[in-house]
Amino acid sequence: LLQALHFFVGFGALLSPLIADPFLSDTNCILSNSTTNSSSNLPHIRKSLVLHHPGNLSRYDLPMKGMVVTRVSYAFWIMALINLPVPIAVFFLLYKERMVPCFSSSSHPLLSADELAMETRPTEKDDLSTTVQRPWAAGGHDDLFSCCQSKNFRGASYTYFAVHITGALVLFMTDGIVGEYSGFVYSYAVEEPLSVVHKVAGYLPSLFWGFITLGRLISIPVSYRMKPATMVFINVVGILITFLLLLIFSHSVVFLFVGTASLGLFLSSTFPSMLAYTEDILQYKGCATTVLVTGAGIGEMVLQLLVGSIIHDQGSYSFLVCGMIFGGLAFTFYAFLLFFHRMYPKPSSDVDVASLDKPAVTDDTGQYQR
């Protein structure tokens, strides 16, 4: 389910530029009488807007008044209509759960009181493991800030916090790579030594997101047969090898496209697999999810800013060097996560010991069970 959820995230990121592309203008968006015959200025301006040599833009005439030749607003209307079912579905969910003030008494909740009690009541095994091993687990959704209360962390071992931190750092690096690669691969391709044609280089971000979407689709059946820890290991190793090969064949345009597709495949399932893996370790209810998602979001924001500043100072080649460094850090943090996982106390042993003290009972078929 996590793989399917993030497949649609990648599918939306792939679909949005394709929807906007037919409505974008290849010429000046506003034409006046004096620039109707010179509407090809825009590609020259784009070419001159490089990082190290901005050039003199005063010789270009960009009209502010005149005939508008772009229909890009249509793309915004289409995207708004595509997203319209989302608030409708959320409102329906709130309505069924009696959380809408005006309709609080006219609907039936999705789960009855008995079903909700069965869903939220911990089983005997969960109760034992929570009591013995995790007195710091969150108490539920009744308090918005229950995750931050100090009483939830009393008795927690250092490995409990180490799993949170290392998992968040892995996602900090991998999601940061997604943001910085999709944001700067076009700028890297159009500069020397590759000097790819602008229109051809524009396909690189779409190729990257396309293979992220394809990888997440492939990960749905793969996740049934492969453990999340193994999937994350393959992902971080694949990211590291891909950046290494991109550095070796940095003068090859063909391999830039191949490496972009490969990087998209390896990055595709990292986020949902890491969520599933840490959930297997911690058996959390939601607080750890906040830590991981926050780490991923901060990484996607900070690494783009960092890489942009480095490219501005050191040149386009540093784009791949930064990716290599981030991939190596992601692999290092994942190695630490595996180490802390092995050190983390396992609740199953205590549960098994406690279950030995119970007398054997018979079920409806007459077989003995514990």
> At residue 242, what is the residue type?
T
The answer to whether 210 touches 14, Cβ cutoff 8 Å, is yes
- Which tokens sit at 230? 């193994």
Identify any residues that bridge with 368 across adjacent strands, giving them in sequence order: 362
Q: Which residue has the higher pLDDT, 170 or 66?
A: 170
CA 302 to chain centre: 14
Measuring CA to CA, how many Å separate 21 from each of 8, 29, 78?
Answer: 20, 14, 12
Task: Work out the average pLDDT over 93-104.
Answer: 77
Residue 12 has pLDDT above 60, yes or no: yes
Task: Work out the average pLDDT over 132-147.
Answer: 47
Handedness of CA 205, 208, 213, 214 (dihedral sign): positive
Give percent above pLDDT 70 in the chain.
64
CA 65 – CA 110 distance, rounded (Å): 55
* Main-chain dihedrals φ then ψ at residue 53, nearest 5 degrees: -135, 80
Identify any residues that bridge with 67 across adjacent strands, giving them in sequence order: 31
For the ranges 143-152, 157-166, 325-334, which has the lowest average pLDDT?
A: 143-152
CA 348 – CA 70 distance, rounded (Å): 63
- The DSSP secondary structure of 142-158, one letter per residue, reads SSTTGGG-GGGGTT--H
Q: Which residue has the higher pLDDT, 246 or 105?
A: 246
Residue 139 has pLDDT above 50, yes or no: no
CA 50 – CA 44 distance, rounded (Å): 11
Looking at residue 65, its pLDDT comes to 60
Instruction: Give the Cβ contact number of residue 149 at 10 Å.
Output: 13
Task: Work out the average pLDDT over 230-245.
Answer: 95
Burial of 197 (0-12, 13-18, 19+ CB in 10 A): exposed
Alpha helices in the chain (DSSP H): 2-20, 41-48, 73-83, 85-96, 113-120, 124-132, 158-190, 198-201, 203-225, 228-248, 253-268, 270-282, 287-314, 318-343, 348-356
- Closest Cα partner for 246 from 266, 219, 270? 266
Give percent above pLDDT 90 in the chain.
30
Identify any residues that bridge with 247 across adjacent strands, giving them in sequence order: none
Looking at residue 93, its pLDDT comes to 87
Q: What is the mean pLDDT of the chain?
A: 75
Looking at residue 113, its pLDDT comes to 55
What is the pLDDT confidence band of residue 39, given thresholds at 50, 70 and 90? Answer: very low
Residue 340 has pLDDT above 80, yes or no: yes
For the ranges 86-100, 133-147, 171-185, which has the lowest average pLDDT?
A: 133-147
CA 345 – CA 238 distance, rounded (Å): 30
Task: Work out the average pLDDT over 5-9.
Answer: 81
Q: Helix or strand or coil: residue 30? A: strand
Taking CA 170 as the corner, what is the angle to CA 209 and CA 242, rounded to the nearest 5 degrees?
Answer: 50
CATH number of 1-21+158-343: 1.20.1250.20
What is the pLDDT confidence band of residue 136, given thresholds at 50, 70 and 90? Answer: very low
The answer to whether 274 touches 292, Cβ cutoff 8 Å, is yes
Looking at residue 358, its pLDDT comes to 44
Task: Work out the average pLDDT over 207-231.
Answer: 90
Torsion of CA 112, 115, 119, 124, to 10 degrees: 140
